[in-house]
Structure 1
Amino acid sequence: MSLETELKAMIIECLDLEDITVEEIETDAPLFGDGLGLDSIDALELGLAISKKYDVKIDAENEETKNHFASVANLAKFIQSQQ
């Protein structure tokens, strides 16, 4: 399973998105706003799950963090760069 697919599954599981499948989450689509429609609470929950699973440090105050969470593709690149 690719990191992107793993992340999509994690998003669905972590945020209880029962009405959506891994296939329906586009790798390059925005996770917030017009894309998947996640909000800041979702970002916190997802950030915690990613920190635990992949042992990466996510700085909520850092402006770059918003870019990392922009899409599944960006998240995958960020995690790979931290390992």
Structure 2
Amino acid sequence: MEKEQLKQQLKEQIIQFLNLTSVKPADIKDDEPLFGEGLGLDSIDSIELIVLLSREYGITIQDPKEGRKILVDINTMADYIILHQTK
């Protein structure tokens, strides 16, 4: 899968998994922080994103510090998936 396709798919999955009914994929910028001032996700959402990575891409994140480095923005998540995907 191309990186651009993967980023679009990630945006759609984040909206679906986190039930962000008022957000559209176009609202999420590739380099916008997912947590804090950006998309405004919280620690509960980070757990959901870790589950999403495991279920959809076969990526297991054990260390919360590693998770914080991966779940920065769409670009970072896509790069990590491309390097580590097992499904």
Give the structure-1-normalised TM-score.
0.92
- Say if 2:33 is the partner of 1:14: no
User: Deviation of residue 62 (structure 1)?
Assistant: 4.5
Runs of 4+, deviation exceeding 3 Å:
none
- Percent identical among aligned pairs is 37
Segments of 5+ residues of structure 2 without an aligned counterpart are none
CA RMSD of aligned residues (A): 1.2
Q: Which amino acid aligns with 1:73?
A: N
Q: Distance in 1 between matches of 2:21 and 2:67?
A: 26
Deviates more, 1:22-31 or 1:61-70: 61-70
Q: Distance in 2 between matches of 1:31 and 1:2?
A: 19
Partner of 1:30: 33
Partner of 2:47: 44
1:26-81: per-residue Cα shift (whole Å, max 9, x none)?
0110000000000010010111012111011112x242321110001100011111
Q: Distance in 2 between matches of 1:55 and 1:76?
A: 14
Q: Distance in 2 between matches of 1:41 and 1:25?
A: 19
Segments of 5+ residues of structure 1 without an aligned counterpart are none
Partner of 2:75: 73
Q: Which amino acid aligns with 2:52?
A: A
Q: Which amino acid aligns with 2:31?
A: D
